[in-house]
């Protein structure tokens, strides 16, 4: 049997409608799934990024849900893509979406998975929720939990000035990045050349962001180290030695700060940022599968 991804709609607390993807588990009729995974994508990502994870877990009786984040490339309101009024908008959406999943699977363990910026979002979210809202476990993949680079005080001053004066003014990021250099592995997000090309032309790709979006992302990531001790659920962190966005040492420092009594760290020494789309994808999926199945009651 093979799992088929289906698309669905749900309504956020403020009445806005968003999409999510679901991969049904390969089960016999009336059989409950062994577990549920809820995935949160990264910056300029989408639910489709989780096709490898959803299809793999389906073969082991696990259902996967992947939400489309507000302000990202599959937001149904085009003018909102690349914009976010407040971090609380993301947290409020997640709170409601997780409640929707729990209501549909009240007797099944639920786990969360965050990739890249999605890992930062889940870190901050789980650091502030009550016990009844905690998942059975958490997987963080290539967690960007630190602001890339080290901008000087002058750049920070100019940015904050522009943010306060024109918060919804947009920045075309294509003008300021060098990620397009295909000949330099230092700029790769994956060794898979076909996937690198797909990322550049993906329909959900965003090329411009507002100042307030960047301010929210800066605040999100800047607070991850302080939030880490309040993350107490079992956690697996998988990361890549050749990550263009976050050095391994930063991930290891974050991991050491996590408050979880059960925590595991797994480095893929040859891999790049997009672990689910790199050459070591099968190894990453096997590691995820092993960790998850050990925790299913």
Residues in the chain: 297
Domains and CATH numbers, the chain: 5-294 (3.40.50.1820)
Q: Nearest Cα to 235, choosing from 282, 180, 179, 292? A: 292
Helices (H), ranges, the chain: 51-58, 87-104, 117-126, 153-165, 193-201, 211-222, 224-227, 248-257, 281-294
Q: Nearest Cα to 97, choosing from 26, 30, 41? A: 41
Indicate if the pLDDT at residue 297 is higher than 90.
no
Per residue in 173-201, pLDDT (tens digit) is 875 554 445 678 999 999 999 999 999 89
Indicate if the pLDDT at residue 246 is higher than 90.
yes
DSSP secondary structure code for residue 70 in this structure: T
d(CA 9, CA 74): 12
Indicate if the pLDDT at residue 277 is higher than 70.
yes
Q: What is the pTM of this model?
A: 0.94
Give the per-residue pLDDT at 37. 98
43 in Cβ contact with 142 (< 8 Å): no
Per residue in 108-138, pLDDT (tens digit) is 999 999 999 999 999 999 999 999 899 999 9
Per residue in 30-82, pLDDT (tens digit) is 788 999 999 999 999 999 999 999 999 999 999 999 999 999 999 999 999 99
In the chain, how long is the greatest CA-to-CA distance? 62
């Amino acid at each position: 049997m093979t799992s088929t991804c289906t698309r669905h709609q749900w309504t956020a607390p403020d009445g806005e409608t968003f999409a999510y993807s679901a991969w049904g588990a390969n089960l016999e009729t009336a059989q409950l799934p062994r577990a549920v995974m809820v995935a949160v994508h990264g910056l300029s990502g989408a639910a489709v990024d989780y096709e490898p994870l959803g299809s793999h877990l389906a073969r082991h009786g696990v259902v996967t849900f992947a939400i489309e984040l507000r302000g990202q490339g599959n937001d149904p309101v085009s003018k909102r893509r690349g914009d976010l009024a407040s971090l609380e908008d993301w947290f409020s959406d997640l709170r409601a979406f997780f409640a929707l999943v729990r209501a549909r699977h009240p007797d099944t363990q639920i786990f969360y998975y965050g990739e890249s910026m999605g890992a930062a979002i889940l870190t901050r979210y789980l650091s502030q929720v009550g016990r009844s809202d905690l998942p059975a476990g958490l997987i963080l993949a290539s967690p960007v939990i630190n602001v890339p680079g080290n901008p000087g005080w002058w750049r920070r001053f100019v940015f904050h000035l522009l943010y306060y004066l024109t918060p919804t003014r947009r920045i075309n990021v294509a003008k300021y990045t060098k990620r397009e250099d295909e000949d330099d592995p230092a700029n790769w997000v994956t060794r898979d050349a076909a996937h690198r090309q797909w990322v550049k032309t993906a329909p959900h790709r965003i090329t411009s962001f507002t100042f307030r979006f960047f301010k929210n992302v800066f605040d999100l990531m800047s607070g991850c180290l302080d939030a880490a001790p309040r993350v107490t659920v079992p956690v697996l962190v998988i990361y890549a030695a050749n990550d263009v966005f976050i050095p391994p040492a930063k991930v290891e420092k974050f991991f050491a700060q996590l408050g979880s009594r059960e925590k595991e760290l797994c480095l893929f020494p040859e891999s790049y940022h997009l672990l689910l789309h790199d050459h070591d994808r099968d190894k990453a999926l096997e590691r995820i599968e092993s960790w998850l199945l050990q925790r299913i009651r």
